[in-house]
Amino acid sequence: MSQRQNDQTIADVGEFALIDLVREQLGTSDYVLVGPGDDAAHIATADGTYVTATDILVEGRHFRRDWSTAADIGRKAVAANLSDINAMGGVATALLVAFAAPGDTPVSWVTDLVGGMVEECAKVGARIVGGDMSAADQVVISITALGDAERPVTRSGAQVGDQVAFAGTLGLASAGYGALSRGFRSPKAAVDEHRAPHPPYAAGPAAATGGATAMIDISDGLLADLGHVARASKVAIDVDPAAFEILDAVQTVAGALGGVDPLRFVLAGGDDYALAATFPADATLPDGWTRVGVVRSGAGVTVGGAPWEGGVGHKHWT
């Protein structure tokens, strides 16, 4: 490690530079078909393959117990992981759950949390098959999901001329966070989506079958996550701002927050766990997918042909 790296903190370098530094140390093997850098890894086994992903939720960072019920938090924790498998064109089958919490946490809160997890798992037919528990100063939930993907779709396959599309809902969860942050408990559609999202679980496999060339789930914001696709595929992506329907609840929150541009929630908000994908220019989009842009030569993501000045999404350690 250089002296400069030794002097830097993880807040100095940021999440993605830190990931790059870690990846340099990991190596690979014949069993690793797709390694770090996508929504999920693709691993070979003696009798087949599987895809696997992990996510961590930290109290105060990803959820607040005064905003969400235990069941909501359980659903959200599971949804974040099922969404990663979905983004590879797969379906999750099993989850491992690691849970840490203060000793004064009510047992009923934990059982409600698990109830929410089981409810979300049932949407794709997955089961919780094991895990671990520990004491901690705050609630921490870490989940590893495993699943099957007949044709895993990575972030690196977008081609110049491809159409860009999304499936699911954009803007509701971040609008809900904005409302809750100001002490509001409405509009209900936005607040509820922040508490427990509704990923489009059927859309990932449908996109893989429909010829998607690249895909990612939208957890940090559409522009930020499309930026990962552009970087991995070595292309540029332009998004058409007129292609999006802005939901009434998003417009209501934008107005209540002092005239914020509602498009900011759609383009730069996260936590909806929608999907974004690229498809060949002549492909018919699967049901539930909406065209919102095009892949071009170059680098980066633009909106209507110009840089977006309204923020690009969530960043850790900022």
Q: Are strands 214-218 and 274-279 parallel, antiparallel or unpaired?
A: antiparallel
Q: Do 54 and 122 belong to one domain?
A: yes
Q: 231 a known binding residue?
A: no
Residues 108, 244 within the same domain: no
Residues 22 and 103 in one domain: yes
Beta bridge partners of 57: 141
- Which value, to the nearest 10 degrees, does the dihedral of the CA atoms of residues 250, 253, 255, 259 take? -90
Is 186 in the same domain as 287? yes
Residue 47, annotated ligand binder?
Answer: no
Cis-peptide into 280, omega within 30 deg: no
The annotation status of 194 as a binding-site residue, yes or no, is no
pLDDT of res. 28: 75
The answer to the question of whether 217 is labelled as a binding residue is yes
38 is in an annotated binding site: no
**318 in any annotated domain:** no
Residues 46 and 121 both lie in one domain:
yes
Give domain status of residue 153, yes or no: no
The answer to whether residues 144 and 168 belong to one domain is no
pLDDT of residue 210: 97
Between CA 61 and CA 31 the distance in angstroms is 34
User: Would the annotation count 42 as a binding residue?
Assistant: no
In 3D space, the residue among 264, 254, 243 whose CA is nearest the CA of residue 190 turns out to be 254
Same-domain pairing of 298 and 179: yes
Q: What is the mean pLDDT of each run of 10 residues along the chain (318 residues)?
A: 63 77 77 74 78 94 95 97 97 94 94 96 94 93 95 96 98 96 94 96 98 97 97 98 96 92 94 97 97 98 92 56
170 lies in the same domain as 291: yes
* pTM for this model (two decimals): 0.85
Render 161-223 in DSSP notation, one character per residue. T-EEEEES--SHHHHHHHHHHTT----HHHHHHHHS----TTHHHHHHHTT-SEEEEESS-HH
The answer to whether 238 is annotated as binding is no
84 annotated ligand binder: yes
Are 185 and 127 members of one domain? Answer: no
Last residue of a domain, one of 122, 148, 174: 148
Look at residue 201 in the predicted model and tell me its pLDDT: 98
Whether residue 317 lies inside any domain: the answer is no
Determine whether the annotation assigns residue 72 to a binding site.
Answer: no
Pick the last residue of a domain from 120, 148, 176.
148
Which residues are CB-neighbours of 102 under 8 A, at least 6 positions away?
Answer: 135, 136, 137, 138, 139
55 is in an annotated binding site: yes
Residue 111 and residue 79 share a domain: yes
Give residue 29's pLDDT. Answer: 74
Q: Is residue 34 part of a domain?
A: yes
User: In terms of residue numbers, what domain contains 258?
Assistant: 163-303
How far is it, in rounded angstroms, from Cα 197 to Cα 205? Answer: 19
| CATH number of the structural domain spanning residue 277 | 3.90.650.10
In this predicted structure, what is the pLDDT of residue 24?
78
Q: What CATH number has the domain bearing residue 102?
A: 3.30.1330.10
**62 labelled as ligand-binding?**
yes
Query: Is 219 marked as a binding-site residue?
Result: yes
